[in-house]
Amino acid sequence: MRLMNIVSLVPSASEILCDLGLNQYLVGVSHECNFPKFLKKIDTITSSSLDSSKPQIEIDTLVREKVEKKAPLYEIDTKKLNELAPDVIITQGVCDVCAISHNQVEVLLKGQLCTLPSSTNVISLNGRSFSGICDDINTLGSYFDCRDRSNQIIENAIFEKNKIMSLKKYDIRILCLEWIDPYFSAGHWVPEQIEIAGFISAIGKPGDQSRVITTKEIIQSKPDVIAIICCGYNKEQNKSFARDIYKDERINYLAPFKNEKIFYFDSDSYFSRPTLRIINGAKQLRESVIS
């Protein structure tokens, strides 16, 4: 491929580009791009108005207020973006809360503060499932002329996925919580991860949107296991959230609490992002539940 400058505004896109061997072309990334670790050395051109150290209920309230006002959750450093002069900007259309959206980039490019040439291309990734993630990888592989590499990556992932799915299935109902205050069910690829691991999703089918759920719904879903995978948090942070839900007297009498079947994971790495590491997440889920 010819030399070109790439700006990735999505952690999953940055990870995929590195898998494809295109990291040398990355000149700018988002503030959330933290894997592989060397991405931290690349210019960061975004920032967030959300403070992840705040209580979840405060974050949820702030997000709702901003969405209602149609205010952006993320800011782009227009001056730095102009200086980097990317040939390609990669964004996403899956979730406006998770990362810079395609619409926000389009508005930026049409704004007076942006002086990028009309030849700058914007690629939007939209993977909401395992197959959708594979499509994203193919999209980038085709665009950057490294289709052989993208095909190999996908073939390896399908092999690993099928290997896990060939194992014994269990009549175990798993409830994955993407947020705990308020409670959110896990959507998109997470119910699929549960099925890949050989279990039953207590709430949500593959492709469903994450949504607020009531404690009544949690009770009626009759979970055998609860997995804490709060969006964007690491394992230690989710460990703290797991401790917190033990205090909720509305649900702490359910089977997962009695049987010590509350698990927590590094969701930022293995559940929150549409990358092929979701297969590793499914494997971790299986190993934790049946150990």
pLDDT of residue 98: 60
Cα(260)–Cα(263) distance, rounded to whole angstroms? 8
Residue 99 makes CB contacts below 8 A (sequence gap 6+) with 9, 10, 11, 30, 32, 74, 91, 92
Q: Which tokens go with 213?
A: 């759920």
- Do 168-290 and 6-126 fall under one CATH topology? yes
> Which mean pLDDT values do the consecutive 10-residue runs of the chain (291 residues) have?
83 96 95 93 90 90 85 84 92 66 59 69 92 97 96 98 98 98 96 98 94 98 98 96 97 98 98 97 98 87
CB 272 within 8 A of CB 153: no
Question: What CATH number was assigned to the domain covering residues 168-290?
Answer: 3.40.50.1980
pLDDT of residue 131: 97
CB 6 within 8 A of CB 17: yes
Residue ranges of the domains in the chain?
Answer: 6-126, 168-290
pLDDT of residue 105: 60
> How many other CB atoms sit within 10 Å of the CB of residue 239?
16
pLDDT of residue 102: 58
CB 184 within 8 A of CB 212: yes
Residue 18 makes CB contacts below 8 A (sequence gap 6+) with 26, 36, 39
Cα(164)–Cα(168) distance, rounded to whole angstroms? 9
pTM above 0.85, yes or no: yes
Provide the residue type at 219 as one letter: I
- CATH architecture assigned to 6-126: 3-Layer(aba) Sandwich (3.40)
